[in-house]
Amino acid sequence: MPHNKPVVVLVGNPNSGKTTLFNALTGSQEKTGNYAGVTVEKVSAKMNLASIQVDCLDVPGIYSLDPISLDEMVAIEIINGISEENIKPDLIVYVLDSNNLERHLYLYSQLAESGIPIIVALTMTDIIPGGKNSIDLKILSEKLSTDVIPVIYHTKEGIDHLRSSIEKSLKNKPIPAISLGEKPENVSMVTHRYRWAAKVKQDVVVNKEPSKRKFTSDSIDKLLTNKFWGLLVFVALMLIVFESIYTFAGPIMELIEAFFSTVRQYSREYLTDIPILKSMIVNGILPGVGTTVMFLPQISILFFFITVLESTGYLARAAFLMDKLLGWCGLNGRSFIPLMSSYACAVPGIMSTRVIPDAKARLATLLVAPLMSCSARLPIYILIIGTFIEPHLGPIWAGVTLFAMHILGLFVAIPVIFVINKGIIKSPQMPFIMELPNYQWPKWKDVFNLVYRRSKQFVKEAGSTIVVLSIIIWALTSFPTTGEESNYTMDNQKELYSQLEGSYLGKFGKFIEPVFTPLGFDWRISTAIVASFPAREVVITSLSIMFQSEATSEDSTDLRSILKNAKNNKGEPIVDGWSAAGLMIFFALCCQCTATLVTIKNETGTWKWPIFVFTYMTLLAYAGAYLVQIIKFVVK
């Protein structure tokens, strides 16, 4: 970033509200969450003040100026002006949580001795006992030797005042001059600083009566962190989430499907004179893109529930609960946040492992994060469940199956972590200490904004990939042509099947079919699997194009009915319930995402680990699908 503008850095403890304040000051839309570790690298944006424009930075949360993890190192290097970009702060805005004054003032006491100008933004003032008047702002400002500006994010109260204070402080350079008092010889500096912080809190808090909110929070925590009841609540919440995903998205999916069916019909009529373009659009792009977009409602609903759980503070409790589950295999609850984040997308989940202090524990978490069922796996789950499970067992069992597929990766990850820790990395078990944030009602504007941005990102990234690969797959299934008539004018199903079988992709599928035959997959499914290795979203596109010849009529675009009714040359179903289950398990455990592998390389600095992840996950996926066929043989 250019350094000809003043640099303002937002600093504070994890979960103090830095990123929310950053968004309010700059108009940005960075992700926020009611748990520690949301920001894992610096984020910058322009901030317009009354007379000047400044560069505003949001850095990862820290507890002190002594780093214990990679994300904390990023923040401290910027504060000390020794980062690779040579960023030197002209002003620090210290984000101070009014509910945790004593703990957060420890870091302030260190920053006040750095010689850098500082002002304080006092957050969470709307949820402390007695409101913001329970803290004497004048006394607090005197004790901290700088301006203290209370802010309330959702009402924007104090934001303009803070901007004015930032502009004034860039000119006046307010360097705090606090006094910690004389340190006794037998007291450590850490203890001395906390004693000072406790004295400041005692002097500035006016309303010192116990908070009913605190008692209520403690009562809820006893339930949510209990070994038995907490796990029961967690499972129940996840079941509700996945039942909702399956139930609520159905009507919207039908509308999307009807829309693309209409578009295909019009394309057939209006592109009759350009048969090759008609074929590419009708048999290539529209089936691929349309079938993928049809699953966007489920993905958006998943993002919604994850965001709500983040913003309420529940995820921090879940991390504490999972510490007991992960402890025996060498990890602790701090690894749960990256794993949970990977349910939306493995890329940010892998990046958020930077909050883990121990390098070996971080690597172990990073290596299993791709096992979590990300949103890109959801379409194949919905397709298979909607085809083979819901029609026979109903929507309740369909939701339970969807939940089981998402939880499968977590349960497989635990023994995998155990093997990696004990046999490869040998990381020691680390104690788990985590601040439990206050419970909050979700800020619905932020929730829906984040859902919109995540959904838009999915469409943008997956859409561009799918369009390109749809054209490539269409071309590979359309050439070389067979017979005298060009394949893109064929309407007869037998002719289409003959063309597909004799195409480049068909020949490739026949070549690799023996590898996947033990899993119950024919050459078309095998080809779709291989085609989706760069990005697993492409499997729906591949299946839509590969099974074009199985459509029961020219207007049939329902991939579910096509898969269910597809027969091989012997008149046997190409996909039955067993091979469908194997296909879901294969996609649940296989690492079919180039972006994930590249991110692992970037985080570890070597290609050794992404190759390791790709290899062990592919073997796991194959073994899982093969196990289904063994069970089928035993049962029958």
Confidence at residue 185, expressed as pLDDT on a 0 to 100 scale = 84
Give how far the C-alpha of residue 8 lies from the chain's centroid of Cα atoms, to the nearest Å. 28
pLDDT digits (tens, 9 = 90+) for 101-117: 888 999 999 999 999 99
User: Mean pLDDT throughout 200-229?
Assistant: 75
Confidence at residue 612, expressed as pLDDT on a 0 to 100 scale = 95
Q: Strand order in 148-150's β-sheet?
A: 43-48, 53-58, 7-12, 91-97, 118-123, 148-150
pLDDT digits (tens, 9 = 90+) for 522-564: 888 888 888 777 778 778 877 877 776 444 333 334 778 888 8
pLDDT digits (tens, 9 = 90+) for 334-367: 777 788 778 877 877 787 787 777 778 888 889 9
Confidence at residue 590, expressed as pLDDT on a 0 to 100 scale = 93
Residue 38 has pLDDT above 50, yes or no: no
Confidence at residue 100, expressed as pLDDT on a 0 to 100 scale = 84
Q: Which residues have CB under 8 Å from 281's CB, separation 6+?
A: 267, 271
pLDDT classification of 211: cutoffs 50, 70, 90: low
Least confident of 125-134, 453-462, 521-530, 564-573: 125-134
The whole-angstrom separation of Cα 36 and Cα 357 is 13
Inter-CA distances, 236 with 115, 180, 239, 241, 606, Å: 51, 49, 5, 9, 40
Q: pTM (2 decimals)?
A: 0.68
Least confident of 219-228, 455-464, 520-529, 578-587: 455-464
- Of 392, 371, 389, 343, the closest CA to residue 246 belongs to 389
Q: Let me know how many helices (H) and strands (E) the chain has, helices first.
A: 28, 6
The whole-angstrom separation of Cα 74 and Cα 9 is 12
Q: Which residues have CB under 8 Å from 550's CB, separation 6+?
A: 493, 562, 563, 565, 566
Q: Is 317 exposed, middle or buried (0-12, 13-18, 19+ CB in 10 A)?
A: buried
Residue 257 has pLDDT above 80, yes or no: no
Residue 166 has pLDDT above 90, yes or no: yes
User: Mean pLDDT throughout 314-320?
Assistant: 80
Cβ atoms of 375 and 345 closer than 8 Å: yes
Cα distance between the two ends of the chain: 65
